[in-house]
Structure 1
Amino acid sequence: MSNKVVHAIYNDDDILLDAVKKTKAAHHHIEEIYTPFPVHGLDKAMGLAGTRIAICAFLFGITGLCIYASLLKFIMIEDWPQDIGGKPSMAFYQNMPAFVPVMFEGTVFFAAHLMVITFYMRSKLWPFKQAENPDVRTTDDHFLMEVGVHGNEEELVSFFKNTGAVEVKVIDKH
């Protein structure tokens, strides 16, 4: 059994968005869409589920806040208390206003760096990974929609030509 897919290539993001809506309405399964830039509303048109990345960012930020608060408490209160600007060094809550900028920066540092790592892991973008782009024009000015063929090759080709595709190819994917 061959794994054939149709590559419908578009040269305008609005035409692509309209074609995605028509493809979903016709109950064809979209394997992937390759675009040179993010297309607003494409995820909704494809029916993709919402992302939970904001929850990860919040948890990473809370982790950074806790680590930096613990670090400041240990260093500035327990390990090496100092009288800086007349502030007492007896308790963490007494020095908290002076620690807020450092804790804020720690929160942002942890959230930003761990979000980048999470994004790369989730996207499977490892160092030295080969590109999976089927057509080099999609990195410049074209958009490609990949739809699986299930015995309806001629129907799909004519369907995508009617949606405004500038080029429609049937590819045997290995």
Structure 2
Amino acid sequence: MEASKVIHAIYTDDDVLMSAVKKVKAERFHIEEIYTPFPVHGLDKAMGLAPTRIAITAFIYGLIGLTVAIVMMNFIMIEDWPQDIGGKPSFSYIENMPAFVPIMFELTVFFSAHLMVITFYLRSRMWPFKNAENPDPRTTDDHFLMEIAVDGNAEVLESLLADTGAVEINLVDKAH
């Protein structure tokens, strides 16, 4: 198992962290990861991360849910077991569609929400009973940690991070 060096810079304020990220990116250093106790607005943009495509998957999953609802209701209520409920004829799907709209809506939302959660967990590799990959337990409470790969420039990087307001800077081995 190969190990590489990374620097963990710890901050106690999210505004200081944001300005530090901008300074580190301006100096063309690659930030591996940032661990925060809560979402920090604008951090993804400051790090230069690509926008998420979860909205596209949500739309696709909603269409799948709508399709399942239409096919299911057509089969159950029109083809398999048509019933005269409240005087409504069951001869065609179109004639009964106003009664089916709530079911179509609910299955669209159900499929979209549940499949989005499953996709998010699989994409971010957060499945049940997975051990935490958090390098410092303080980042679950009130500290922010910036992890930067070291490529023979530890002294320069440590000096830059000290200037950005890091309260603690640690050089550690990270196993791949």
Confirm or deny a common fold (TM above 0.5): yes
Shift of 1:155: 1.0
Aligned to 1:138: 139
Q: Which runs of 4+ in 1 moved over 3 A?
A: none
Whether 1:123 aligns to 2:124 is yes
1:162 maps to a residue whose letter is D
SS at match of 2:7: strand
What 5-or-longer segments of structure 2 have no aligned partner? Answer: none
What is the alpha-carbon distance in structure 2 between the residues aligned to residue 91 and residue 3 of structure 1? 66
Aligned to 2:77: 76
SS at match of 1:27: coil
What 5-or-longer segments of structure 1 have no aligned partner? Answer: none
1:34 maps to a residue whose letter is Y
What is the alpha-carbon distance in structure 1 between the residues aligned to residue 125 and residue 8 of structure 2? 23
Q: Deviations over 1:97-154 (max 9, x none)?
A: 0000011000011011101110110011122211100000000000000001111111
Shift of 1:47: 0.4
- Equivalent residues in 2 for 1:33-44 (5 A)? 33-44=34-45
What is the alpha-carbon distance in structure 2 between the residues aligned to residue 27 and residue 2 of structure 1? 23
SS at match of 1:126: coil
2:54 maps to a residue whose letter is I
What is the alpha-carbon distance in structure 2 between the residues aligned to residue 173 and residue 135 of structure 1? 13
Whether 1:105 aligns to 2:106 is yes
What is the alpha-carbon distance in structure 1 between the residues aligned to residue 18 and residue 145 of structure 2? 11
TM-score scaled by length of structure 1: 0.97
What is the alpha-carbon distance in structure 2 between the residues aligned to residue 62 and residue 92 of structure 1? 18
Shift of 1:82: 1.1
What is the alpha-carbon distance in structure 2 between the residues aligned to residue 66 and residue 99 of structure 1? 13
Aligned to 1:28: 29
1:26 maps to a residue whose letter is E
Aligned to 1:167: 168
Aligned to 1:89: 90
What is the alpha-carbon distance in structure 2 between the residues aligned to residue 74 and residue 96 of structure 1? 13
What is the alpha-carbon distance in structure 1 between the residues aligned to residue 139 and residue 9 of structure 2? 11
Q: Report the more deviating stretch, 132-141 or 76-85.
A: 76-85
2:61 maps to a residue whose letter is F
What is the alpha-carbon distance in structure 2 between the residues aligned to residue 2 and residue 107 of structure 1? 47
TM-score scaled by length of structure 2: 0.96
